[in-house]
Amino acid sequence: MYIEDRDLVSIQEVRNHIRKAKKAQKILAQMSQEQIDTIVKVVAKACYEQRVHLAKMAAEETGFGRWEDKVLKNALASQGIYEEIKDMRTVGILREDTVNKVTEVAVPVGVVAGLIPSTNPTSTVIYKALIALKAGNSIVFSPHPNALKSIEETVEIINKAALAAGCPEGAVSCIHRVSIGATNELMRHKDTNLILATGGNAMVRAAYSSGTPAIGVGPGNGPAFIEKTADIPRAVQQILDSKTFDNGVICASEQSIIVEEVSKAQVIEEFKRQGAYFVPEEDARKLGAFVIQPNGMMNPRMVGKPAVEIGKAAGIDVPNDARVLIAEETGVGKGHPYSYEKLGPVLGFYTVKDWKEACDLSLKILHHEGVGHTLSLHTQDETIIREFSLKKPVSRLLVNTGSALGGVGATTGLFPAFTLGCGAVGGSATSDNVSPANLFNIRRIAYGTKELADLRKAERQVAEVKEACCQVDTSLAGEELLDELVTRVLAQLSKNL
């Protein structure tokens, strides 16, 4: 009796995908910018047309979020990203500097491994496929098992459109027999050239330790500071709209609110008026114990669920019209569950004396979890914005906008992306909203413009000018000293010409 070894079969499947992807990528690398752009345009259009179907499929399969909001994410990942990249030069000669005689040529990285989370499955697949193809790469997807069917459907739609537009077969593929062994094989294979990892800490760490170059994104745990000069009703509206969008599964969404004592009462009143529910102290302990498990991990039962459903699961009474659950918090770290990332409509609420204390507190929150990711600030004080921008260890400081859609570039001028780099401080290879520019290398052709004798002559001239300056009468001051220095330098330069 034959018994199939699932792990071995899945590993072999990966090897087959990579072999075809490598062959396809060699063909993509020979295509013109116009050919690549045609493929990207057709794929984006096909995905946009199926945005509702894919959104409903993802919501039904994973149980996360709202399909209506996933439609918007699919639209951003397809049409939104296409509009951003359609005129981007990614193939062949990028720039020619005739003055310095340097020419830059785009070189695709090759075969990309795309690791996909269950929280944003279809939109992330569309996005990664488009930016990979735009840069002349092939891509092999490793799906989260809880979103396998919707990811497979998305890849099928992409493949059908891409092949019709002249894309080589095997340029976009997906692991169907999902396993840890298959994902590891994909990341470590000698012909995988780059990993795009979007997911939890364990996945990102595995990507960076695989030996293959990787762009990984860890957790977001962004604080939102409502400073006293903010338009409070607007700030509250933006935060609630952001935190309830797709039931909070976007990692850039707000995780905690920071307010000053002077405006606390007004902010609380406004949150309540707009549908937030402040959880009483005893219930807050129950909710916190449910949301964050004893090991410090987020409870998957709360991810992407509505506020009322989360309340019921936690065993507390919540009004039927509650949009977001808010609990007051005083500390950061172990024993303070609301200081952790919560991918659902649950927020921690902190009170501080002034913006300087808010600055320090947000720093503690970020270093606890989410460093390098995103922070949002609601204020009319440009000085405070500048102070935060100089001191906060984040890659995105969002001002007067909702964090979820602002971070992914939907309500800001940032590149629309579903992989948000956290920079070196966050353990990431980039701080960018990852785009096609991150998926090709640049070959530089540089012409000689100087000889060794020219370098030696320049060094002598510098030494002579320094010597001339040393001969200036140091008793001079102000404009007289400046005039004397200029005169001597100009005289020495005239000798050298």
The residues annotated with a catalytic role in the active site are 251
Collapsed DSSP state (helix, strand, coil) of residue 439: helix
- In angstroms, the CA 119 to CA 200 distance is 11
The half-sphere exposure of 448 on its side-chain side, counting CA atoms within 13 A, is: 5
Cα dihedral 391→393→395→400 (10° resolution): -60
| Number of separate helices (H) and strands (E) present in the chain | 18, 15
The half-sphere exposure of 147 on its side-chain side, counting CA atoms within 13 A, is: 29
Length of the chain: 497
Bridging pattern class, strands 194-198 and 111-115 = parallel
- In angstroms, the CA 20 to CA 24 distance is 6
Q: Residue 77: what are its φ and ψ, rounded to 5°?
A: -70, -25
In terms of Cα–Cα distance, which of 135, 133, 134, 153 is closest to 143? 153
Collapsed DSSP state (helix, strand, coil) of residue 381: coil
Burial of 492 (0-12, 13-18, 19+ CB in 10 A): middle
Cβ neighbours of 443 (radius 10 Å): 12
Collapsed DSSP state (helix, strand, coil) of residue 113: strand
Sign of torsion over alpha carbons 325, 326, 327, 329: positive
Q: Where are the alpha helices (DSSP H) in 292-353?
A: 307-314
Burial of 77 (0-12, 13-18, 19+ CB in 10 A): buried
- In angstroms, the CA 459 to CA 375 distance is 48
Residues 6+ apart with CB under 8 A from 281: 328
Cβ neighbours of 408 (radius 10 Å): 30
Q: Residue 167: what are its φ and ψ, rounded to 5°?
A: -75, 140
- In angstroms, the CA 93 to CA 88 distance is 12
In this structure, what DSSP letter does residue 148 have?
H
In terms of Cα–Cα distance, which of 169, 188, 215 is closest to 21? 169
Burial of 387 (0-12, 13-18, 19+ CB in 10 A): middle
H or E stretch covering 349: strand 346-352
Bridging pattern class, strands 276-278 and 324-328 = parallel
